[in-house]
């Protein structure tokens, strides 16, 4: 039996579809075709482009928005890889100049936290504590708490330019920190005093720039020194000391400070006390050497 004969045999064994089944199938096909022809054409699909975030804003407003984002993100991005080269807030400016950071204090009466904020932004663990000082103590370091990690770690404070007069234009309190500083430091620095504030530095009231400039009170009587202070319009407060018998040093008893000081008492030193006032270190007895100065 060949292949064609076998195919004819199989076809004869398949029953033919009924006539009514064929008519029903044909009716369904024609109905579906008519429905497709009556359907309105579909609207063409349009792919929309994403609208830019700043579209519709005026150019100046868009630029301001971009700069605001940069201002917020910039220090964060830079801080991941390297220290900033500059930072500023309302109290202080810090910038890297050569091999050191130079901090210029814009507001010497600001909250100390603002100084720390600026140093921290530069990657420096430095705290700044400004204390009221007499004229010659402004810009001088009262005390330095410092722990460096290398011999090259340095920190200090001064007036710039050197020798300038505090309060004059161009004269600024500054702090310097070595580049690459990896230690920790707290700097106590003299600042101009507000009216009525007590000075917290030690100085000689007779030195140039201070209240008794050009007058040496050491070894004079209280009466003599009071005559000079009145002439200069200065107020006076006393600190009573007890000199060592040989004049090498002295002690001070707080309970003796209310004793009445006589005109014959001896003045061993005069110190700036506050604006318009000096403090006289005095004793009733005279000793061979100045117990304060050591000579």
The DSSP string of 163-188 is TPPTTSTT-EEEEEEETT--SEEEEE
Write down the pLDDT at residue 37.
52
3-state class (DSSP) for residue 27: helix
Domain positions in the chain are 84-192, 202-295
φ and ψ of 98, to 5 deg: 65, -120
- Confirm if 227 and 272 have CB atoms less than 8 A apart: no
Q: Which two tokens stand for residue 29?
A: 């096909």
Any idea which residue has 């609208």 for tokens? Answer: 51
266-274 sheet: strands from edge to edge: 235-240, 277-283, 266-274
Work out the percent of the chain whose per-residue pLDDT is above 90: 61
47 secondary structure, DSSP code? P
Which of residues 183 and 75 earns the better pLDDT score? 183
* Angle formed at CA 94 by CA 72 and CA 156, multiple of 5 degrees: 145
Record the pTM: 0.67
Query: If we measure between CA atoms, which residue out of 213, 199, 266 comes closest to residue 238?
Result: 266
76-91 pLDDT, tens digit each: 333 433 578 999 999 9
Helix spans in 82-182 (H): 112-121
- Highest mean pLDDT among 26-30, 57-61, 74-78, 232-236 belongs to 232-236
Query: Helix or strand or coil: residue 289?
Result: coil
């Amino acid at each position: 039996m060949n292949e064609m004969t076998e195919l004819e045999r199989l076809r004869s064994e398949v029953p033919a579809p009924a006539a009514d089944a064929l008519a029903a199938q044909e009716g369904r096909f024609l109905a579906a075709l008519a429905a497709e022809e009556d359907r309105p054409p579909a609207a063409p699909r349009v792919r929309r482009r994403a609208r830019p975030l700043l579209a519709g804003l005026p150019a100046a407003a868009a630029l301001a928005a971009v700069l605001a984002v940069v201002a917020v993100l910039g220090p964060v991005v830079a801080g991941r890889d390297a220290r900033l080269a500059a930072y500023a807030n309302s109290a202080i400016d810090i910038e890297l100049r050569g091999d050191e950071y130079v901090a210029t204090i814009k507001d010497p009466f600001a909250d100390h936290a603002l100084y720390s904020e600026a140093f921290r932004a530069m990657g420096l663990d430095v705290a700044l504590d400004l204390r009221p000082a007499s004229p010659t103590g402004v810009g001088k370091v009262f005390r330095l708490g410092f722990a460096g990690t290398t011999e090259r770690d340095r920190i200090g404070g001064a007036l710039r330019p050197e020798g300038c007069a505090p309060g004059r234009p161009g004269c600024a309190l500054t702090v310097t920190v070595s580049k690459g500083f990896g230690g920790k430091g707290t700097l106590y620095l003299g600042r101009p005093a507000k009216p009525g504030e007590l000075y917290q530095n030690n100085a000689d009231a007779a030195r140039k720039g201070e209240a008794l400039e050009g007058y040496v009170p050491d070894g004079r009587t209280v009466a003599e020194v009071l005559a000079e202070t009145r002439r200069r319009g200065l107020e006076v407060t006393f600190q009573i000391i007890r000199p060592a018998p040989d004049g090498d040093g002295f002690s001070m008893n707080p309970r003796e400070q209310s004793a009445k000081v006589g005109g014959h008492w001896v003045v061993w030193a005069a110190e700036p006390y506050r604006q318009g006032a000096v403090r006289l270190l005095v004793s009733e007895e005279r000793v061979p050497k100045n117990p304060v100065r050591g000579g």
